[in-house]
Amino acid sequence: SGEETTSLKDYVSRMDENQQGIYYITGESRKAVETSPFLERLKKRGFECLFLVDPIDEYAVQQLKEYDGKKLVSCTKEGMKIDETEEEKKAFEEEKAKTENLCKLIKEVLDDKVEKVIVSQRIVDSPCCLVTGEYGWSANMERIMRAQALRDNSAMGYMSSKKTMEINAMHPIIKSLREKSDADKSDKTVKDLIWLLYDTSLLTSGFSLEEPTQFAGRIHRLIKLGLSIEDDDDDAEIADLDDLPPLDADEEDDASKME
């Protein structure tokens, strides 16, 4: 329920026989973790998850790898596995094969923002999320370390999270994006939507926005679209310059008119 405290001993006594380990999630507050997209598959299966919301918990789980022969598994990191039925596995593999090209395109667009893009069964209701490496910092640990006044900047470099984007191939947004990208890889709308998915995944996965101004610009464009407002030249500052057409011809026409 998230309201009561429990012990690892009690947790293990209640574990489902198909459960791979002791699932836990770390975060800034109980409110932040209980609505996390990382819990969607666990909730669907009825598996319990420990909410670790004290800063000291991050340090504790780095040392406590297992309890009573059961491995502690972070919901926000790579390596979380949940047993699936044969039907579920078959449906997943089919959708995964269809989404391979979209994964490659997302990686091309985001470039070094993510280490890789894969299709995942971790999420159910969300289109995507960002997970960290099994042995690196979690998003919450990164937040704690950034807040340290005497932090070691060299450690920040090699311990900071290497993000993997996991997408839900069953989600309507991903299916629609897949169709759009298959029709035209260079579509500006597709690239904008990929960046929006990445930015929203940063927020829902516990990270801080790297470029809030650009994120706001994309949201403003969506609002204009919803209100049927025609785009104007003001958005040129936010748009990616690489995607703009060459202006040489237009400039020559303007010059001739002025003469």
pLDDT at 142: 83
> Of 159, 113, 169, whose CA–CA distance to 136 is shortest?
159
Reduce the DSSP state of residue 9 to 3 states and report it.
helix
Residues 6+ away with beta carbon under 8 Å from 103: 117, 118, 119, 167
CA distances from 14 to 7, 11, 18 (A): 11, 5, 12
pLDDT at 241: 43
Question: Greater confidence, 107 or 18?
Answer: 107
User: Average pLDDT for residues 170-177, to the nearest whole number?
Assistant: 94
Taking 60 as the threshold, does the pLDDT of residue 252 lie above it?
Answer: no
Instruction: Give the range with max mean pLDDT: 5-14, 150-159, 232-241.
Output: 5-14
Reduce the DSSP state of residue 151 to 3 states and report it.
coil
Asked which of 43-52, 161-170, 220-229, 234-243 is least confident by mean pLDDT, the reply is 234-243
Question: Greater confidence, 257 or 99?
Answer: 99
User: Average pLDDT for residues 9-14, to the nearest whole number?
Assistant: 92
Q: How far apart are CA 132 and CA 38, in angstroms?
A: 12
Taking 80 as the threshold, does the pLDDT of residue 243 lie above it?
Answer: no
- Expressed in angstroms, the distance from the first to the final Cα of the chain is 75
Taking 90 as the threshold, does the pLDDT of residue 250 lie above it?
Answer: no
Taking 60 as the threshold, does the pLDDT of residue 238 lie above it?
Answer: no
Instruction: Give the range with max mean pLDDT: 75-89, 117-131, 243-257.
Output: 117-131
pLDDT at 143: 82
DSSP state of 6: -
* Predicted confidence band of residue 138 (pLDDT cuts 50, 70, 90): confident
Residues 6+ away with beta carbon under 8 Å from 171: 123, 125, 126, 127, 128
Whole-number percent of the chain with pLDDT over 70: 83
Asked which of 29-33, 99-103, 143-147 is least confident by mean pLDDT, the reply is 143-147
* Predicted confidence band of residue 160 (pLDDT cuts 50, 70, 90): low
Taking 90 as the threshold, does the pLDDT of residue 161 lie above it?
Answer: no
Q: How far apart are CA 213 and CA 220, in angstroms?
A: 10
Taking 50 as the threshold, does the pLDDT of residue 110 lie above it?
Answer: yes
Taking 60 as the threshold, does the pLDDT of residue 242 lie above it?
Answer: no
User: Average pLDDT for residues 51-79, to the nearest whole number?
Assistant: 89
Asked which of 30-39, 109-118, 142-151, 239-248 is least confident by mean pLDDT, the reply is 239-248
> Of 129, 135, 136, whose CA–CA distance to 161 is shortest?
136
Alpha helices in the chain, H assignment, sequence order: 8-14, 30-34, 40-45, 55-63, 86-110, 139-146, 153-159, 172-183, 188-204, 212-226, 248-258
pLDDT at 196: 93
Taking 90 as the threshold, does the pLDDT of residue 19 lie above it?
Answer: no
